[in-house]
Amino acid sequence: MKACRSIAPLLEPFSDGELGPEKMLEVEQHLLECRLCVERVRFGDAMRRSLRRRVRETAPVSDAFRSRVAEALAAAREREWERLAAARAERRHWLGFRTILPMAAAAALTLVWAASTGPERREQRRATAYAQVDPVRVDDLLEELVEHHVRGRSEFTELSLLPQAEREVGVPVRVPSLKHFGAQWEGASVVPVLNQRAASLRYRLGNHRVTVYVYDSSRFPIEKRLEQRLVGSEPVYVGMRRGYSIGATEHGGVGYALATDLTDAETAELVAAIY
Amino acid sequence: MKQRATTNRNFEGEVLDHLPSLLAVATRLTRNGPEAEDLVQDTVLKAIRANEQFESGTNLRAWLLRILTNTFINRYRRGGLERSVLDGPDADPLADGWVSASTIESMRDPESQALRPLLEAEISKALDELPAEFRLAVVLSDVEDLSYKEIADVMGCPIGTVMSRLHRGRRMLKARLYEHARAFGIVGPEENIGSTDAVVELEQFRAKKGAIA
């Protein structure tokens, strides 16, 4: 039997579940033969149970405290909204000076394209594509897109990997060039959204982040909860979620949605320029 | 995929689910009810503001407890947790072989059930008297069930330091409990029960040790 002296330092990590398999066996073997160490382990465990009970009993969360925390959270949310609103107002000013010319150029291009295809036909096509979809969970879908915009990361930056993404997404995925707005493409990933998959293309525009989602538009009826707007004669859909601006459009069965921290007017301009 | 499919509100809900743990740890850290509630409220607000820094798939409770600990240090202990280490004798009565198995058993399972609350109250009191860094390590491990690695993240120290703080904290609690059990007659004086257990009175033990040395 190994001496207690060599086993004693292992007893606490043993009870804490922090020993590797070999040491664990060594301790277990010793415990089969040593009543003193068995009692040490049992005493340690009993002390842990008593501590847990006492510590939890002596600090119950009262309803009053729970309400107080809830109120503090609500007040913090309020302040955050005010801060975002102020930041948006500031950005609107900034974008006006920095990008007004490229924006105008993009709008002009869109106008030419729109005139050549005719908005009515596109509207019909869009209606057919979206008709198959249950719109009930659109809000969840928008939340997920924003969530990914906030937290997601690019998984690859090689354009050669895009065809692989296309197979998962089920529609052609190309990287729209937003260079004339000064936006740099940073990378892409495929993200699961409500059991579907969308390609997520991430850009940086100055200090702002822009995520463009490309998806099968028949499966993502995003426009159901957004407001229709014309940029030139290009109909786009825009709205806000959690302080982020969302824009969407559709071309030939391929949906494009943008999540940005720009204003909704700026996002609308970007969406309209996607095609 | 690291992105979370929850909304801000869901995240708030998840954070609020951990209020009991946060308040239990805060109460032990501050040893003051109203201060503990303030500390928890600050922690929750900070966590919601910093929710983007939380990495999905990791332990939310451990992450919240790290915020709580840092907030506690910044707000109440600008110089860090208490470093005083009550440098008493390094002997551990229960580990060094001068307390018998049956004595340990009577502390764990006193013959009279009426004595149990007495012992538990003593543990609680002894916990509050530990230096904060030992107290926190013991609470995070024994009450909150965090792993050594998670405790190291919460306390911002290496795992070896966590093990040492835990061991020393628990040793102090056990020694205190042993003294208390002796004082209340829950355990009697030790008899020499033979060489296997090598149990003798502390004084005898020391005398023997001195003679050998």
- Closest residue in A to B40 (Cα) is A69
Structure confidence at residue A234 as a pLDDT band (50, 70, 90): confident
CA distance B10 to A184: 32
Mean pLDDT throughout B131-142? 94
What are the residues facing A208 on neighbouring strands? A205
Q: Is the pLDDT of residue A2 over 90?
A: no
Residue window 147-166, chain B: list those with CB within 8 Å of chain A: 147-148, 163, 166
Q: Does A159 touch chain B (CB under 8 A)?
A: no
Reply yes or no on whether the pLDDT at B182 is more than 70.
yes
Phi and psi at A240, nearest 5°, equal -120, 145
Closest of B170, B165, B130, B145 to residue B62, by C-alpha: B145
Check: CB of residue B174 under 8 Å from CB of residue B93: yes
The pLDDT > 70 percentage for chain B reads: 71
Grouping H, G, I as helix, E, B as strand and the rest as coil, residue B71 is: helix
- Retrieve residue B123's tokens: 């543990």
Tell me if domain B8-76 and domain B101-212 are identical in fold.
no
Cβ neighbours of B86 (radius 10 Å): 10
**B42 in reach of chain A (CB within 8 A):** no
- Contact call for residues B155 and B69 (beta carbons, < 8 A): yes
Q: pTM to 2 decimals?
A: 0.56
User: Which of B186, B116, B39 lies closest to A53 in space, CA to CA?
Assistant: B116
Under a CB-based contact definition with an 8 Å cutoff, are residues B202 and B93 in contact?
yes
Contact (CB, 8 A) for A180 and A99: no
Q: What is the pLDDT of residues A141-170, one digit of tens each?
A: 778 888 888 887 888 888 877 888 888 888
CA atoms within 13 A on the CB side of A81: 9
Which tokens hold the place of B155?
């306390």
Backbone phi, psi, residue B92, to 5°: -115, 110
The whole-chain average pLDDT of chain A stands at 78
Q: Tell me, what's the ipTM?
A: 0.77
Which class is domain B8-76?
mainly alpha
- Paired tokens of B69: 């600990």
For residue A125, what pLDDT is reported? Answer: 41
Confirm if A272 and A236 have CB atoms less than 8 A apart.
Answer: yes
With bands split at pLDDT 50, 70 and 90, how would you rate the model's confidence at A128? Answer: very low
Q: pLDDT band for position B82 (50/70/90)?
A: low
d(CA A126, CA A130): 6
pLDDT computed for residue A23 by the predictor: 93
Position of tokens 């997520």?
A200
Mapping DSSP to helix (H, G, I), strand (E, B) and coil, where does residue A36 land? Answer: helix
**H or E stretch at A241:** strand A234-241
Give mean pLDDT, residues B129-150.
93
Q: Which of A99-108, A112-121, A153-162 has the highest mean predicted lDDT (pLDDT)?
A: A153-162
Q: How far apart are CA B18 and CA A268, in angstroms?
A: 41
Q: How far apart are CA B103 and CA A104, in angstroms?
A: 87
Average pLDDT, stretch B61-75? 92
Dihedral, CA of residue A206, residue A231, residue A141 and residue B6, to nearest 10 = 30
Boundaries of every domain in chain B: 8-76, 101-212
Report the pLDDT value the prediction gives residue A157, as an integer from 0 to 100. Answer: 81
Residue B142's pLDDT band, with cuts at 50, 70 and 90, is very high
- CA dist A241 and A147 (Å) reads 10
Mean pLDDT in residue range A259-265: 87
Q: What is the C-alpha to C-alpha distance for residues A41 and A19, in angstroms, rounded to an integer?
A: 14
- Distance in Å, alpha carbon of A8 to nearest chain B alpha carbon: 7
Q: pLDDT value at position B145?
A: 92
CB proximity A79 to B under 8 Å: no
Sheet arrangement for strand A254-260: A183-193, A196-205, A208-216, A254-260, A244-251, A234-241, A227-231
Query: Is B43 in contact with B22 (CB distance < 8 Å)?
Result: yes
Give the minimum alpha-carbon distance from B136 to chain A in angstroms, rounded to a whole number. Answer: 12
CA-based nearest residue in chain A for residue B37: A65
Confidence (pLDDT) at B110: 67
Domain topology for B101-212 = Arc Repressor Mutant, subunit A (1.10.10)
For residue B184, count other CB atoms closer than 10 A to its CB: 13
The verdict on A174 touching B (C-beta cutoff 8 Å) is no
Nearest-CA neighbor of B177 among B108, B89, B113, B111?
B108
Q: Using 50, 70 and 90 to split pLDDT, how confident is the model at B4? A: very low
- In residues, how long is chain B? 213
| Beta pairing partners, A198 | A191
Q: Between A118 and B77, name the one with better pLDDT.
A: B77
Cα nearest neighbour of A65 on chain B: B37
Q: Are A186 and A154 in contact (CB under 8 A)?
A: yes
Closest by Cβ to B101, choosing from A36, A52, A72: A36
Q: Hey, is the C-beta of A40 within 8 angstroms of any chain B C-beta? A: yes
The enclosing H or E element of A209 equals: strand A208-216
Helix (H) or strand (E) holding B202: helix B202-212
- Say which amino acid occupies A106: A
